[in-house]
Chains A and B, each alone.
Chain A
Amino acid sequence: MQVTEYKPLIVAFCCNWCSYAGADLAGNNRLSYPADVKIIRVPCSCRVNPMFILRAFQRGADGVILCGCHPGDCHYTTGNYYTRRRMALLFSMLDYLGIERERTRVEWVSAAEGAKFAATMNDFVAQVAALGENKRLEDLRCKK
Chain B
Amino acid sequence: MQEITREALLSRAAELFRDGTVDRALGWRAGEFDYDVTPGVFTSAEELENGFVWNDFCGANFSKYLIRETGLTEKKVLVFLKPCDTYSFNQLLTEHRFARDKVYAVGVPCAGMADVKLLRDRFDGVTSVEGAEGGVLVHTLYDGDVTLPQAELLPDRCRNCKSKKHVAYDELLGSDGEVLDSHRFDEVEQLERMTPDERFAFWQNELSRCIRCNACRDVCPACTCEKCVFDNPASGAANKAPSSSFEEQMFHIIRAFHVAGRCTDCGECSRVCPQHIPLHLLNRKFIRDIDRFYGEYQAGAEVGSRAPIVDYTEGDIEPGEAVEGGARHA
Contact = CB atoms under 8 A, between A and B. Distances in A.
Q: Do chains A and B touch in the complex (CB under 8 A)?
A: yes
Interface of A: 50-51, 54-55, 57-58, 71-72, 78, 81-82, 84-101, 104-106, 136-141
Given A93-B253, A139-B247, A140-B244, A85 B320 contact: no
Contacts of B289: 88-89, 92-93
Given A96-B192, A99-B200, 13 more contacts: A72-B314, A84-B317, A85-B294, A85-B316, A88-B293, A92-B289, A92-B322, A93-B257, A93-B285, A93-B289, A95-B196, A136-B200, A140-B246
A86 to B, nearest CB: 7
B309 interface: yes
Contacts of B33: none
B258 to A, nearest CB: 9
Contacts of A84: 312, 316-319
A12 to B, nearest CB: 15
Nearest to A141: B244
**Residue from the set B192, B229, B312 with the largest chain A CB neighbour count within 10 Å:** B312
A76 to B, nearest CB: 13
A98 B197 contact: yes
B300 interface: no
Nearest to B256: A93
Given A72-B314, A106-B318, A137-B249, A93 B282 contact: yes
Nearest to B202: A98
Contact of A88 (B192, B196, B243, B319): B319
Interface in B216-259: 229, 235-237, 243-244, 246-247, 249-250, 253-254, 256-257
B308 interface: yes
A104 to B, nearest CB: 8
B277 interface: no
B199 A96 contact: yes
Contacts of B203: 97-98
Interface string B298-330: 000000000011111110111111110010000
A89 B312 contact: no
B65 interface: no
Identify which of B236, B256, B323 gathers the most chain A CB atoms within 10 Å of its CB.
Answer: B323
B196 A82 contact: no
Nearest to A138: B246
A54 B253 contact: yes
A50 B321 CA distance: 18
Nearest to B207: A97
Contacts of A106: 318-320
